[in-house]
């Protein structure tokens, strides 16, 4: 169940072309400073065409990322552009997720959304009025996928969702 959608009024035009589950869900906690900070981190990214071959499935996307990027957590929670992540060769779960979204778009023509979820772990941060989140994944039509494997993840619930066009609004 989607509890909240990241939203900033200045990006309304980007949402008009997206599937929005309900207008009421857009109005949850808009005054929360934390929500706005997260929205700003998640939006405005630029698409990067890596011009790859041999990418035919979601699993192929994940395997390519695993071969090019090693996991390294941020010291400061940030979400970086896909080209920057590929260039430096490391990133954390949100970097993997954005890179997965980017490659799936260019190589498969699929627009995944960025999903924040809670996974059973000791590493948890509280989002004001929204619950716990500590991991980023990708979502397609409300179904979660791991950016590490390209496979469906069934045991997590989406806490926050940022639509593809919102995340990559720097390219629009």
Per-residue model confidence (pLDDT) at position 122? 62
| pLDDT of amino acid 37 | 57
Q: Where are the beta strands (DSSP E) in 39-79?
A: 70-71
Regarding predicted confidence, which is higher, 41 or 115?
115
> 145 has which bridge partners?
138, 152
Q: Are 31 and 50 in contact (CB under 8 A)?
A: no
What are the pLDDT digits (tens) for 91-109?
Answer: 999 899 999 999 999 999 9
pLDDT at 172: 58
Report the predicted TM-score, pTM, of the whole model to 2 decimal places.
Answer: 0.74
Please say whether the beta carbons of 164 and 67 come within 8 A. Answer: no
Which pLDDT score is estimated for 67? 95
Q: How far apart are CA 136 and CA 114, in angstroms?
A: 7
pLDDT tens-digit profile of 30-43? 334 545 555 677 77
Provide the pLDDT for residue 130: 53
> What is 31-170's CATH number?
3.10.620
pLDDT at residue 16 is higher than 90: no
CB-CB neighbours of 163 under 10 Å: 25
Domain range list for the chain: 31-170
pLDDT reading at 27 higher than 50: no
């Amino acid at each position: 169940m989607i509890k909240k959608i990241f939203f900033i009024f200045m990006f309304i035009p980007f949402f008009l072309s997206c599937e929005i589950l309900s207008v009421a869900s857009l109005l949850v906690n808009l005054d929360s400073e934390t929500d706005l900070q997260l929205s700003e981190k998640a939006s405005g990214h630029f698409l990067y065409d890596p011009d790859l071959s041999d990418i035919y499935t979601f699993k192929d996307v994940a395997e390519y990322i695993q071969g090019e990027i090693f996991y390294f957590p941020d010291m400061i929670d940030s979400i970086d552009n896909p080209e920057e992540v590929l260039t430096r060769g490391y990133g954390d779960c949100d970097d993997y997720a954005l890179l997965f979204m980017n490659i799936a778009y260019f190589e498969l023509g699929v627009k995944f959304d960025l999903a924040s979820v809670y996974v059973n772990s000791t590493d948890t941060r509280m989002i004001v009025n929204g619950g716990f989140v500590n991991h980023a994944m990708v979502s397609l039509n409300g179904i979660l996928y791991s950016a590490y494997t390209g496979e469906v993840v069934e045991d997590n619930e989406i806490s926050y969702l940022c639509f593809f066009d919102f995340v990559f609004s720097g390219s629009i």
